[in-house]
Amino acid sequence: MTRIRQFHDPKLSIWQSAVEEAVVLKQGAPARLAAAGRPVPIERPDSNYPAVQEAVAYCSAAYAGQAVPGLTAGATLAAPLVSTLGYCSLTALRLAKAILLNNEQDEQRYRDELCKFSDCDPCYVQAAEKYAEYFLAQGKRIPYRVYKNLTDFVLNDKLPAQARVAILGDWGTGQRAAKNVLTQIAAKSPDVVIHLGDIYYAGTTFEDENYFYQPWTQILDLAHRRVPTFTLAGNHDMYCGGVPYYALIDRLGQPASYFCLRNAHWQFLAMDTSLHDINPVQAGQAATYLEDTELVWHKDKIDTAGGRRTVLLSHHPLFTAYDSIEGNDVNLRLYPQVFTFLPSVALWLWGHEHNFVVYGQYEGIQRARCVGHAAFPVGIDELPREPLFPDVPLVTRDSSGKSITLGQTAGLYNHGYVIIEINGPSATASYFQDSDQKTPLYQEVIA
């Protein structure tokens, strides 16, 4: 499995999406699909593909605030210089800007420049056109859905009294590892499957279709089993304006980006923390928050829970030990919104960070778990060995005092998922790694 890179920046993520889509189209995927007469899963292009590599090089420089010189095609552009400075990406983005501004003279100039310069892949022209399309979509209003009645988006017939609920986060990479994780989940015959959000890189229609919907429906065999499945809104899902995301959840039969699954004893309460995280601050993870109307809706679900226990779901964390939320361990915008009902939450699962972390009781939450490790490739050199915020408590494995951590395979951390077994009022959560389908890395009773 090759590593891929993400950037918490809508414009850079859109550029990655546009380049990779152009690469797939160049490789003839639509022709193969038409010839097959049925959907054929498309894998994300190998990160070693030159155009993909250069796009990442450009995005890395731009994200780090490094100046990318205004190069022009010519004999001085040796191949190493091009790949380092992202010349083709820079020229293609200038082409996209000319398209957006309807500047025909500049548009023709940059088209000619990309075509004449032999080291630039022809797919860059199509990437520029896609970028212009997605850039315009990103600037439009997200079609967020507001309830009319507080009983809206409550699903009382999807969660059996005895149910197996599978939960996974940050799954939409389109790579084989993602499909392997979902295949393991399918083998456990879940009654409900919930994704905590993020289809990379920018939640475009192409990515939602090929890196989520097609493998999701085929591997889970939704046409025959009709298992209720849901996907929360991740920040990457909103980078392209959110329209593809809402089209996706309509196909899944999901009413909105937030919802409540209920039976007589349990409720799974899903939040939309990504509506206000489409443009994170570069100094750290954004302190995102809930829409005011949605907060009223969530409080109502807590107030009307009766004797039900609540499993809270979100894409973003409330707190973190290993990352930073605008320089803090706690999201200081979200916490004041939710702190009053945290004692009523039996378990809070979130993603966003591509890690598995079992937290001790903190900030009024009995159990909080980061489960954003479903598919995104993370090298063993990419996660800090020691917590950035050591005061945030971690559950330890035994008397050794070591926290529970993912295993490693071929230089990458393992992926995984959660299976919650509900049996009337009791429930057990098992946290699996993809390296071992039978024995959980961690297990807990949450009733």
**Between 29 and 171, where is the model more confident?**
171
Predicted confidence at residue 118, as pLDDT, reads 57
Predicted confidence at residue 416, as pLDDT, reads 98
Average pLDDT, the chain: 89
What is the Cα–Cα distance from 9 to 201, expressed in whole angstroms? 10
Cα distances from 234 to residues 171, 197, 220, 353, in angstroms, run: 11, 4, 21, 11
What is the Cα–Cα distance from 329 to 317, expressed in whole angstroms? 10
In this prediction, residues 10-28 reach a mean pLDDT of 90
- Confidence band (pLDDT; 50, 70, 90) for 207? very high
Question: pTM of the prediction?
Answer: 0.93
pLDDT in tens, 73-92: 333 334 443 443 467 888 88
pLDDT value at 47 more than 90: no
What is the Cα–Cα distance from 55 to 61, expressed in whole angstroms? 10
Please name the residue that has the structure tokens 């330890």.
Answer: 396
**Between 73 and 43, where is the model more confident?**
43
pLDDT value at 399 more than 80: no
Structural domains in the chain, CATH included, are: 10-138 (no CATH), 154-445 (3.60.21.10)
pLDDT in tens, 136-195: 888 889 999 999 999 999 999 999 999 999 999 999 999 999 999 999 999 999 999 999
pLDDT value at 296 more than 90: yes
- Confidence band (pLDDT; 50, 70, 90) for 54? confident
Predicted confidence at residue 116, as pLDDT, reads 72
Tokens linked to 385: 């060995």
pLDDT value at 309 more than 80: yes
Please name the residue that has the structure tokens 């439009």.
Answer: 140
Q: How many CB atoms lie within 10 A of CB 149?
A: 8
